[in-house]
Structure 1
Amino acid sequence: IVKDDEIKTEIIKGNGIPVLIVCAFQPQFHVETVQQPSLEILRAVSFETEAASIIKEQEKFIQLLNDIVLANVFPQRIPADGILFNLAEHEATMIKDQTKASCVHKRMLVGPVATAFEYDIMISYCHKNRELCHKIYECLNVETCYKVWIDKERMYGSLMARMAEGVEKSEIVLICMSSSYKESDNCKSEAIYAKKRHRYLIPLIVEPKYNPSGWLGVYRDDLLYIDFT
């Protein structure tokens, strides 16, 4: 339910973030029924600029998130890693906006800079759709000359760092769209990060009769897409 934009707004405007932070780390609360859901809600709202601004002011909370990631504490590590990633992205966006005019002027003086990519394509997908997405990977990797990046197990280091690595090393990102992809905060982070890094995005529909809506629908509407079902 927290995926709904109106619910996120109510949480932010209703001062729900400080309450969620308390619920996420106070020892009297049960990990699975209170702490973990609170972290996941905080991650979902941290995509919003106003929420990110509120969260990053909580220095003790930020330190606790870092401790969880460094100590590799499951299952809290995944939402903690996601929150920290979103906060870093919001900070980077603010800095970019402040220096945009200067950067544009410099590009006019020196011209475009070519980027060499290690991979031609990255496949961004939800693991619930892995069977079809892995077939797409095998076809591209075996039957073509493309170099394809895919994280089949997602067990390597920080999930967010691994995702960022894939995007940064790839020229094209395939967005494998499905209802599961839309509901996944990990997938949302990948898509947003790829768009911010100005990668070529190609939407693929990997769920029968699926019509993307909300944040994911924007990606489908802006681009030509391929239906793999």
Structure 2
Amino acid sequence: MIHVRILTQKTYENQLSLQRAAEGLLWKLEKESEAVTKQIILNSYKYNIMLSYSHKDEQLCLKIHEQLIKDGFRVWLGIDCLRGSTMVGIANAIENSEH
């Protein structure tokens, strides 16, 4: 492994492709599983984003919500998703949201 690390430090013009290959190999060996684990954790959330807003800002919030949905995010918004108690709905959204 130390030899691969040494190759990542070479900066000679003719060894640039070798340097990039060594960097890719190190990433594959050391960081790929970390990236996959992180993606699994991110995908385990029901929502990517929970939007909280004051009622006077409702129209602006709806525009933001619409754009986030178009961009592929899973968004919790109280208007659509509350069932039962407001506080219980908000608590569930917080626990099930990445951000």
TM normalised by structure 2 equals 0.52
Is the radius of gyration larger for structure 1 or structure 2?
Answer: 2
Query: Which aligned pairs between 1:125-164 and structure 2 lie closer than 5 A?
Result: 125-142=53-70, 144-152=71-79, 156-164=83-91
Q: CA 1:140 to 1:134, structure 2 compared with 1: closer, same or farther past 3 Å?
A: same
Residue 51 (structure 2) aligned to one of 123, 127, 136: 123
Aligned to 2:96: 169
What's the % identity of the aligned pairs? 38
**Relative contact order: is structure 1 or structure 2 higher (C-alpha 8 Å, sep ≥ 6)?**
2
The residue type paired with residue 75 of structure 2 is: V
Structure 1 gap ranges (5+): 1-113, 173-229
The answer as to whether partners of 2:48 and 2:97 remain within 8 angstroms in 1 is yes
| Deviation sequence 1:58-88 (CA, Å, 0-9, x none) | xxxxxxxxxxxxxxxxxxxxxxxxxxxxxxx
Cα RMSD, aligned residues only = 1.9
Change (3 A) 1:131 1:157: same
Q: Secondary structure at the match of 1:119?
A: coil
Look up the equivalent residue of 2:86 and give its one-letter code: L
Distance in 1 of aligned mates of 2:48 and 2:75 = 6
1:154, 1:146 → 2: CA distance? 15
4+ long deviations beyond 2 Å: 153-156
Give the match's secondary structure for 1:128. Answer: helix
Output the TM-score relative to the length of structure 1: 0.24
Q: Secondary structure at the match of 1:171?
A: coil
Q: 1:169 to 1:155 in 2, by over 3 A?
A: closer
Asked if the contact 2:82–2:89 (Cα under 8 Å) also holds between the matched residues in 1, the reply is: no
Q: How far did 1:156 drift?
A: 2.7
What is the letter of the counterpart of residue 77 of structure 2?
I
Aligned residues: 58
